[in-house]
Amino acid sequence: MVKATKRFADATVYAPDLEDNLVNGEAHGPFCGLVTRFPIVSQAAISQFPPDVAGKLLVQESDADPSPISVGIGQFQRPVLRVQVKLRRRVRPGPRAAVTGNWPGRATS
């Protein structure tokens, strides 16, 4: 569907869990992904909680009993995506982009 649009015809789609969620060519979630017109430099999908956090989530069962109970959750329902893209040289941050780092002509303090 994304590739069918004029704006994203040359886009790259990174959706690591999409293939596991296809049934008869139709996606059934939950899944997440990134669509970008910039080249992807690196990509990773993080689905498991870090070992020092996994299975150690404490929640309050109800307002009537404020004592915490342990919930043995060890993975995200949808993976956290860590993706690095290569920006064009002349890209400047704007209301729709968050860019960090230095580029030629940018004042630094």
Query: Over the stretch 18-41, which tens digit does the pLDDT of each residue have?
Result: 777 777 777 676 678 888 888 999
| End-to-end Cα separation, the chain, in angstroms | 44
- pLDDT band, very low/low/confident/very high, at 91 (cuts 50, 70, 90): low
pLDDT band per the 50, 70, 90 thresholds, residue 71: confident
pLDDT for the residue numbered 23: 75
pLDDT value at residue 3:
67
Q: Given a cut of 90, is residue 78 above it in pLDDT?
A: no
Give yes or no for a contact between 99 and 93, defined as CB atoms under 8 angstroms apart.
Answer: yes
* Confidence (pTM): 0.58
- Residue 99 tokens read as 């860019």
